[in-house]
Amino acid sequence: MESIKQWVTKHPNLTAWFVLALGMVILLLIEARDVGLETSQWFWLIVITVLVAGAAIWIISWGDDDDPDVNEDDNQAEISS
């Protein structure tokens, strides 16, 4: 259990991708079960759903790269002016 916690802490974006993709695929399977899709259509729909979840997490993570030290330096410069 400890190794799972360490992996989740070390790879938060991959964990978020997995959780979001799992939820999206479960919803897809529940909502589209009576549509009458063929096997290959299901396969590609699930693959694209997982990729969309990955793209969503990638876009959300863009803000994670901001350096808080730079923002604090800018705020200090404004206060002292």
Q: What is the pTM of this model?
A: 0.73
- DSSP per-residue letters across 17-46: HHHHHHHHHHHHHHHTTTS---HHHHHHHH
- Position 71 confidence tier, pLDDT thresholds 50, 70, 90: low
More confident residue, 1 or 58: 58
Q: At what angle do helices 12-31 and 39-60 cross, to 10 degrees?
A: 140
Domains held by the chain: number: 1
**50-62 pLDDT, tens digit each:** 999 999 999 999 9
56 burial via Cβ count (<10 Å: 0-12, 13-18, 19+) = middle
Domain interval for residue 31: 2-80
